A and B are shown apart, each in its own frame.
Chain A
């Protein structure tokens, strides 16, 4: 795929086209998601956490691993971890411990990461994940545990900041010690050819949950949420699990989907060739969507875990857990279902709204006084068209749900019609103010005084006597031609319904 010379491509058989691969193999996923909690301070010390601070300006002796430093658990981080566990339908441990995961790497200043090993704070949960076409896939959660983030390495020299070939590395410990929750699924089976979509939808659903729980900003582009994607293939769903690979740090929804597709194609080729998949960690490459082998360390799995002697157990009382459960907000899927019912949209309409990212916009527009149908009409119609034209997200358009609500009220009050409303949109989007201001400034209000209308009608009637004759003879069909002429004279600012009434009245009289 690339021209760079690597030793691995030579021995790797060509990729099997995805559709072919999933016809002959059953993919099984496993996903580990790390989320950085949005606490003000770190997990085990009171160093402040904020994005974009100068290097090494947010450290304490604890996050630097200085001799004698003693950790103390951030109570808010524990509460956030419980919130996440409950939102994922997990059991919350009555008592759990921290453990030391020992390894040597410059971004871990203590030479161990404080994590949880055999006693996670949350376990045995599930999450129903909805795909774009409305299919629901249940993902079982094995555990969610608390740990701390590592520092950030910047590799100097070598190619494009990669470790490989770097002369030396620079380390910033601002991130070291930021609270993390790691969520681990059980093997995700039964997704079949839709495994990439399920993987993506799962990570996306988690991101949405983190946000609504207010436990993290959950910004993918800042690395607040990071996914490790495990994948294996087996000949049939009845076969034992195959050997898996773990693609580390896949950090966008699209990348999650691509990484799964790539590994399916790659592993299928290996199995087709009668070879065996090597259990290993792999790196994902954004540029071409491929993966390549990560570090191979013979002792990599030997982290010599042992209980952290500097911390006492965390034993959340059942009262505290229930208190937290009682304050959980409505979760994204429940909210979608509720709004679907309230708005009465067809299933396909609702899916389009969700996929277009218009849920919040429509909800706010309804709150601003529009009916759900009207709000949907604007956001999914005219505004979606304009967003597409400008290649921006709906929410990025220079118009607010409140302004759309106001616009619709102007239509409902008969002060403008739908056609004029489009001109009002132009004005609002051009920064001319709120709909009311645009209507006044541009003089767009519907002519409601019958005087000028009657003059225009009389003019149109005089110009088309043959039509008048037909209508008088009982054939109302051609009356549209008169109405059209009147609308043209009034530049569309007349109320077409009123024009029709007046025209018929005039002809009849």
Chain B
């Protein structure tokens, strides 16, 4: 009763830029099935008057004052860049556009 096909796993993996081997696709299809089944069970219990939860803490309106803090030094910022030029991150040719 697999509801998640191998194709779907491959597609989602591609969307998330995750390179999966064939055997991983098989394994994940099975594991995702278990997860989807579990959530389906929650759905059976949850009635429309139970609001969807996106956060476990019953908190709202956690705001920050609009006051600047010092920025990271550029040298530190670019230290994480594989390549940089003129204070900017250099990235490979962006393909598949236009």
**Distance A76 CA – B63 CA, assembled complex (angstroms):** 9
Determine whether the beta carbon of A40 is less than 8 Å from that of B67. yes
* B residues whose Cβ falls under 8 Å from a Cβ of A: 11-12, 14-17, 52, 54-55, 57, 59-69, 71-72, 74, 77-78, 80, 85-94, 96-98
Name the interface residues of A19-48: CB closer than 8 Å to any CB of B.
Answer: 39-41, 46-48
B51 to chain A: closest residue by CB: A95
Q: Which 6 A-B pairs have the closest CB atoms?
A: A75-B63, A307-B54, A48-B68, A170-B88, A76-B66, A315-B60
Determine whether the beta carbon of A297 is less than 8 Å from that of B96. yes
**B residues in contact with A283, CB < 8 Å:** 98
**A residues in contact with B54, CB < 8 Å:** 97, 307-309, 313
Q: Does A399 contact B (CB under 8 A)?
A: no
**A residues in contact with B59, CB < 8 Å:** 312
The interface-forming segment of A55-63, A134-142, A377-385, A476-484 is A55-63
B98 to chain A: closest residue by CB: A164
**Distance A171 CA – B96 CA, assembled complex (angstroms):** 18
Determine whether the beta carbon of A171 is less than 8 Å from that of B92. no
Determine whether the beta carbon of B68 is less than 8 Å from that of A46. yes
**B residues in contact with A171, CB < 8 Å:** 88-91
Q: Does A388 contact B (CB under 8 A)?
A: no
**Distance A95 CA – B87 CA, assembled complex (angstroms):** 41
**B residues in contact with A294, CB < 8 Å:** 98
Determine whether the beta carbon of A315 is less than 8 Å from that of B61. yes
Determine whether the beta carbon of B66 is less than 8 Å from that of A312. no
Q: Which one of B57, B62, B64, B86 has the greatest number of beta carbons of chain A within 10 Å?
A: B64
- A74-B66, A309-B55, A315-B60 given as contacts; is B71 within 8 A of A47 (CB)? yes
Determine whether the beta carbon of A312 is less than 8 Å from that of B77. no
**Distance A130 CA – B22 CA, assembled complex (angstroms):** 61
Determine whether the beta carbon of A295 is less than 8 Å from that of B96. yes
Determine whether the beta carbon of A48 is less than 8 Å from that of B15. no
**Distance A299 CA – B68 CA, assembled complex (angstroms):** 38
Complex partner residue of A55 from B65, B88, B97, CB under 8 angstroms: B88
Q: What are 28 residue pairs bridging A and B, where the CB atoms are less than 8 Å apart in the complex?
A: A40-B66, A40-B68, A47-B68, A54-B74, A54-B87, A55-B74, A56-B74, A59-B71, A59-B77, A60-B69, A64-B77, A64-B80, A75-B65, A102-B15, A106-B94, A163-B94, A163-B97, A168-B91, A170-B85, A170-B88, A170-B89, A170-B91, A173-B89, A295-B97, A297-B96, A299-B11, A299-B15, A313-B55
